[in-house]
Amino acid sequence: MKQSVNFTAFVDAFHAHQRYDQFGYEALQVIFDYLEEYEDSTGEEIELDVIAICCDYTVQGHTGIAQDYSIDLSEAEGDADAEEQIVLDYLNENTMVLGQCDTGIVYQQF
């Protein structure tokens, strides 16, 4: 038996598991929208598993991602927009980017 979950219930599940702060409201919206779109495009229902989502996805600013994955930003010459594009290009080549929000880039961890 599956139960439909709206965004409010999705956020509540993260609060209940004390995992809300791992993403925040806007990043959770990006993840929720991605998962709904995935269900719509594939016809496959997804079970809400907060811990699995926390293991599969993350949100982080482009400078933190560059440090974690040793991405060379020297060609951007300090231009934040160019740095962010380099990081996005790297992520798009290596994993799936779900979207962006005020707290950073939401992507599938790898």
What confidence tens digit (pLDDT) does each residue in 28-82 have? 999 999 999 999 999 999 999 999 999 999 999 999 999 999 999 999 998 999 9
Residues 6 or more apart in contact with residue 7 via CB below 8 angstroms? 28, 29, 32
Within a domain: residue 104?
yes
Within a domain: residue 2?
no
The domain of 103 spans: 7-108
Give this prediction's pTM.
Answer: 0.91
Q: Please answer whether residues 103 and 24 qualify as being in contact, where contact means their C-beta atoms are separated by less than 8 angstroms.
A: yes
Q: Which residue has the tokens 């779900």?
A: 98
3-state secondary structure of 95: coil
Within a domain: residue 48?
yes
Q: Determine the pLDDT at residue 67.
A: 97
Please determine, for residue 3, whether its predicted confidence score (pLDDT) is greater than 80.
no
What are the structure tokens assigned to 99, written together? 């979207």
Within a domain: residue 69?
yes
Q: How many domains are there within the chain?
A: 1
Beta partners for 99?
Answer: 106
Q: Determine the pLDDT at residue 1.
A: 57
Within a domain: residue 22?
yes
Share of the chain above pLDDT 70, in %: 98
